Chain A
């Protein structure tokens, strides 16, 4: 029978293009920072402190987005800061995802004692206040890139575990799983070949969201001075410094803030966009 319900076309995601574009731009910036950055991000020049961005009166040529109170070039520092932000996003996001999703998938699909052990563990884990936990952790491990990544993974794997567990549970109740059992597929095989492909879109959406969160957490830790050593440029560190002089030089605060905002937004939008795009059921 003819049925017009199938005629609706989904518009191709503009947000996918915008968010993907911004992140691609950022990746290029991070990779090519030494060639792209107009100045050395660490070079101080106290005579050029708090220079405004190029369109304002009193701007110094060569310093497009102005300088901070120590005379360091804001644009160069943002570009170098992207390196750290993206490394943290990729490594911490992926590790969190793999650990959390694996545990969640097992808990949700195997149920029984596997689920009880993992779920109790998640419940207890989540009872710790996360930021305090992270600060404590870095105090013990000492600041540094590895510490940040470990802190993010340890705090956030529960998010994956909980969401993926629920998703795996609802997929596990579907008859295609019973059908695989009737066909003689092993439990583990069913989990990998039947359940995993169906929770993958959710995992991808969560992963990109997590990458955004990792960028924020790194910025927060930099803000409270618990990130990398203070001389390597980070967005959080720039925001912390900019805050103190916001009345004299707003650009030191605002430009890294906008970059951070756009990056985190792009990560979450990319996830939603990809989920829509690569889902044969929705497509």
Chain B
């Protein structure tokens, strides 16, 4: 396996229904950032959820392998799988408003996993939380740890979730659209912060986003998804210079760029959609055979 996280032919179906992910294959190298891009409904969030074992109950994994740190998660028994995931991976969720429990203070929400699951001493966990809040540039961490979520701004809460994700020094973090709910100016700070933290801690990062601009700022490699199928795996720079798949190129052409106002906005052409739909169909036929 070439990645710290290696996904091989991962297939997910709606229980009693059609496919949601179609033989997804991709690698996330240790300490690297891998972007997952695609339009809504392409299944990009589902890959992260499949890795973390948090797929909605209506979905089931019907095939493939998920290798995390040299272990195939899908070959493990559920309890062992949860343990392996808990020890190696963490999540930065999309919506900072709902990801924190509104009825609990910030401190315990960061330390709970360390104390309850990893068996840290409470005082150690609190010291660790203070250091992390410091690291994500939160002023007066001691006061913030005693605050409730509603007393903090959206950007602050996202910083806390980032600190919380790094708390147990996971070797893989999955970030699911972590800046979609934020203003561009705050988004810039948060993206920088995630990049800095990721570099400093040497964490591998799976970054789910719909924004190609964001990808070009934080990712080393990326996968483009359409209808649950990877249409292109690429290194970031090469992708923006020379996208190989026509759908990737069309996606790029549909993205407005303010520095280039004369460039007409081209919606993804029907011919490209038809072509990629045919690919998906061929895939389904082969998978069915």
Q: Do A and B come from one complex?
A: yes
List A residues at the B interface (Cβ < 8 Å).
1-5, 7-8
New A-B pairs, 9, CB < 8 Å, besides A1-B39, A1-B227, A8-B17:
A1-B41, A1-B273, A2-B227, A3-B227, A4-B13, A4-B14, A4-B17, A4-B20, A8-B14
How far apart sit A99 and B162, CA to CA, in the bound complex (Å)? 52
How far apart sit A8 and B15, CA to CA, in the bound complex (Å)? 9
Which of B16, B18, B280 gathers the greatest number of chain A CB atoms within 10 Å? B18
Going nearest first, the 5 A-B pairs with the smallest beta carbon separation are A4-B18, A7-B17, A3-B41, A2-B227, A4-B14
List B residues at the A interface (Cβ < 8 Å).
13-14, 16-20, 39, 41-42, 58, 226-227, 273, 277, 280
Check A2–B14 contact: CB distance below 8 A: no
Chain B residues within an 8 Å CB radius of A7: 14, 17-18
How far apart sit A8 and B18, CA to CA, in the bound complex (Å)? 9
Chain B residues within an 8 Å CB radius of A4: 13-14, 17-20
Can you name 7 A-B pairs with beta carbons within 8 Å? A1-B41, A1-B273, A2-B227, A3-B227, A5-B14, A7-B17, A7-B18
Residue of A nearest to B41 (CB): A3
Chain A residues within an 8 Å CB radius of B58: 8
How far apart sit A2 and B58, CA to CA, in the bound complex (Å)? 18
Check B226–A1 contact: CB distance below 8 A: yes
Residue of A nearest to B18 (CB): A4
Check B277–A2 contact: CB distance below 8 A: yes
Q: How far is the CB of B140 from chain A (nearest CB, A)?
A: 36
Q: How far is the CB of B268 from chain A (nearest CB, A)?
A: 10
Chain B residues within an 8 Å CB radius of A5: 14, 20, 41
Check A1–B42 contact: CB distance below 8 A: yes
Check B17–A2 contact: CB distance below 8 A: no
How far apart sit A1 and B229, CA to CA, in the bound complex (Å)? 12
Chain B residues within an 8 Å CB radius of A8: 14, 16-17, 58
How far apart sit A8 and B14, CA to CA, in the bound complex (Å)? 8
Chain B residues within an 8 Å CB radius of A1: 39, 41-42, 226-227, 273
Residue of B nearest to A8 (CB): B17
How far apart sit A5 and B41, CA to CA, in the bound complex (Å)? 9
How far apart sit A4 and B273, CA to CA, in the bound complex (Å)? 17
Chain A residues within an 8 Å CB radius of B42: 1
How far apart sit A7 and B16, CA to CA, in the bound complex (Å)? 9
Q: How far is the CB of A282 from chain B (nearest CB, A)?
A: 15
Chain A residues within an 8 Å CB radius of B277: 2
Chain B residues within an 8 Å CB radius of A3: 41, 227
How far apart sit A8 and B16, CA to CA, in the bound complex (Å)? 8
How far apart sit A175 and B239, CA to CA, in the bound complex (Å)? 40
Q: How far is the CB of B55 from chain A (nearest CB, A)?
A: 13
Residue of A nearest to B268 (CB): A1
Q: How far is the CB of A123 from chain B (nearest CB, A)?
A: 25
How far apart sit A55 and B15, CA to CA, in the bound complex (Å)? 47
Chain A residues within an 8 Å CB radius of B226: 1
How far apart sit A1 and B43, CA to CA, in the bound complex (Å)? 11
Residue of A nearest to B13 (CB): A4
Chain A residues within an 8 Å CB radius of B19: 4
How far apart sit A2 and B274, CA to CA, in the bound complex (Å)? 11
Residue of A nearest to B15 (CB): A8
How far apart sit A8 and B20, CA to CA, in the bound complex (Å)? 13
Chain A residues within an 8 Å CB radius of B280: 2
Residue of A nearest to B16 (CB): A8
Residue of B nearest to A2 (CB): B227
How far apart sit A2 and B13, CA to CA, in the bound complex (Å)? 14
How far apart sit A4 and B13, CA to CA, in the bound complex (Å)? 9
How far apart sit A3 and B58, CA to CA, in the bound complex (Å)? 14
Which of A1, A3, A7 gathers the greatest number of chain B CB atoms within 10 Å? A1
Q: How far is the CB of A2 from chain B (nearest CB, A)?
A: 5
Chain A residues within an 8 Å CB radius of B273: 1
How far apart sit A8 and B17, CA to CA, in the bound complex (Å)? 7
How far apart sit A2 and B20, CA to CA, in the bound complex (Å)? 10
How far apart sit A3 and B41, CA to CA, in the bound complex (Å)? 6
Q: How far is the CB of A98 from chain B (nearest CB, A)?
A: 38
